[in-house]
Amino acid sequence: MAQTTAIFEAVRTADTIIIHRHQRPDPDALGSQFGLKLILQHAFPDKKIYAAGTIPDDLSWLGHADDVADDQYQDALVITVDTANTERIDDDRFSQGKQLIKIDHHPNDDDYGDLSWVLPDASSTSELVVDFVNEHADALTLTRAAAQLLYAGIVGDTGRFLYPATSSHTFAVASQLLATGIDAAEVGRHENELSRGLGRLMGDVLANITIDETGAAHYIISQQQLASLSLAASEVQPLVSTPGRLADVRAWLLFVENPDGSYRVHLRSKGPAVNELAKSHHGGGHDLASGANAADMVEVKEMIASLSQLMKEWQAQ
């Protein structure tokens, strides 16, 4: 049985479905989670369908999570979207259901779940949710409200159709979503707007990022800087792609200091794959977009040196 058919069968026979996604969600995590929830609710109004996890204020325009009581997990089908590994699933109760299904577009390094459907070439998990609906079009409908969320997910994960994973199929899916009557401009506005603090930080990133002779770049955002701009660490996500706008920058690390002095690291590249570097620092992700963690400045410096080395090796090829 094809994976999507098996997933549809699991959905059809479950009374309770709880959808999880990764911690520190982005528009694709939330778009695919809420989009799938609305689609399943529309098709199966008698089922109990929940979206679990915590949502940062700046993404509350995408929707709100449900309060899911512990006992709901007892006979539930749990679906995770957009989450490559179990450690990153928001809300540990994901393992307490009757069955676990993974739907994702990251490299499948951790093939968890009773069933999984993972297409690393897809632009986004939101794109996969549309594919899932299309494969079961006799039972599932792409409602306008769901389409708006899924479009937001695709726009988010493709950097507005800019990144290499954007395929002709991505545009076909986006076209299908627009045809439902969504307000694509509103999504674009939400994903384009910056707070004053973030605007100031963006200016500083562009003006003061360190770029070496290989095109490897880094910028460190301290707790002090965040406090002076009244920003939460979770709000800097829109800046992660900013260094790439500089022509001299080929690959970059954006470090964000945590309150305990450790660092959350965002790795991005226009050339060499950076996910192996991410994996060696408690992270992972896509070839050109990964996340990791650094315990202290010693590890920060190690990562800066490793990226430079990676660039040298890539240029020597």
Region of 82 (left: φ > 0; alpha: ψ -120 to 50; beta: rest) is left
Whether the Cβ atoms of residue 29 and residue 150 lie closer than 8 Å to each other: no
Q: Residue 84 or 130: which CB sits closer to ligand AMP? A: 84
Closest CB 258 distance from ligand AMP, rounded Å? 13
Query: Of 88 and 136, which has the nearer Cβ to ligand AMP?
Result: 88
DSSP code per residue over 261-281? S-EEEEEEESSS--HHHHHTT
| Cα 58 from Cα 70, distance rounded (Å) | 27
Q: How far apart are CA 232 and CA 217, in angstroms?
A: 23
Minimum distance from residue 23 beta carbon to ligand AMP (Å): 9
**What CA–CA distance (Å, rounded) separates 175 from 171?**
6
β pairing state of 115-118 and 210-211 = unpaired
Q: Which two tokens stand for residue 261?
A: 């002095």
- For the bound state, the minimum distance from the C-beta of residue 283 to ligand AMP, rounded and expressed in Å, comes to 4
Q: How far is the CB of 73 from ligand AMP (least distance, A)?
A: 24
Name the H helices within 45-183: 125-135, 144-157, 168-178
Contact 245, 206 (CB under 8 A): yes
Cβ proximity to ligand AMP: between 115 and 122 the closer is 122
CB of 278 to ligand AMP, least distance (A): 7
Interface contacts to ligand AMP, rule CB under 6 A:
22, 84-85, 88, 106, 240, 266, 283-286, 289-291
Distance of closest approach, residue 104 Cβ to ligand AMP, in angstroms: 9
Q: Which is nearer to ligand AMP, 40 or 292 (CB)?
A: 292
In whole angstroms, give the CA distance from residue 57 to residue 270.
30
In the complex with ligand AMP, the residue whose CB is nearer, 84 or 209, is 84
Which C-beta is closer to ligand AMP: that of 240 or that of 307? Answer: 240
What residues contact residue 184 under an 8 Å CB cut-off, 6+ apart? 151, 178
Looking at the Cβ atoms of 244 and 284, the one nearer to ligand AMP is 284
CB 45, min distance to ligand AMP, A: 32
Contact (Cβ atoms closer than 8 angstroms) between residue 285 and residue 278: yes
